[in-house]
Structure 1
Amino acid sequence: MTKATWRGKTIAESDSTVEVGGYIYFPRDTVRMDLLKSTPKTPRDLECPHGVQFYDVVDGDTKSLRAAWSYEAPQAKMQPVDHWIGFWEDVDVR
């Protein structure tokens, strides 16, 4: 079982994670999407060939900026994680 936690809260938990490029991705239905808020896309985000969408992890007034992402139009290399959620920085994945 792989878990993603942030400030003591479990954000995602799954037996079906996939590792691509050194990052672990969770199926969207195993992620607490109520703790994620999509961020406006930057010009650099728009250059991503996989259609990246970043998310802030949010709980009340506490935020971890752009600590999660999803590929919404992945090319072949990232197709296995189409619309799955990856985490980094303040989110602990193990």
Structure 2
Amino acid sequence: MKAIWKGAVIAESEDTVVLDGNHYFPAESLKREFTSFSNHRSSSEKGQAHYLSLFVNGELNPDAVWFYPEPSEAAAQIKGRYAFWKGVEIVD
């Protein structure tokens, strides 16, 4: 699976976990050169989500990446994994 935004492969892995229709990629597959800090947080039954923004070819996509540093027990399988939205394409 690949996560692609603005033509850049943001993450690529054969080992994704699908939860609630989202592919969660392993941390080591995330290409950090395309990410930047975000203060955004949200909460759900999975725990508190933290976000990263994407910066590709001079364009910013705020809060397009999320992860759960301490997921709930029910979402333990996504610890250390990253998911994408806001225009990021997930392709096989």
Quickly name the TM-score band, shorter chain normalised.
Answer: 0.7 to 0.9
How far apart, CA to CA, are the structure 1 residues paired with 2:37 and 2:76?
21
- Of the three residues 56, 61, 81, the one matched with 1:59 is 56
The reply on whether 1:70 has 2:64 as its aligned counterpart is no
How far apart, CA to CA, are the structure 1 residues paired with 2:80 and 2:37?
13
Aligned residues: 90
Identity of aligned residues (%): 23
How far apart, CA to CA, are the structure 1 residues paired with 2:62 and 2:40?
13
What amino acid does structure 1 have at the position aligned with 2:72?
Answer: Q
What amino acid does structure 1 have at the position aligned with 2:88?
Answer: V
Matched ranges for 1:2-81 at <5 A: 2-42=1-41, 45=42, 47-48=43-44, 50-59=47-56, 61-81=58-78
How far apart, CA to CA, are the structure 1 residues paired with 2:89 and 2:81?
17
Q: Once superposed, which parts of structure 1, at least 4 consecutive aligned residues long, lie more than 2 Å away? A: none
How far apart, CA to CA, are the structure 2 residues paired with 1:89 and 1:41?
14
How far apart, CA to CA, are the structure 2 residues paired with 1:48 and 1:34?
28
The answer to which structure has the higher strand fraction is 2
1:51-89 deviation per Cα after TM superposition (whole angstroms, max 9, x unaligned): 311111113531111111010110112110102100012
Taking structure 1 as the reference length, the TM-score comes to 0.86
How far apart, CA to CA, are the structure 2 residues paired with 1:51 and 1:73?
7
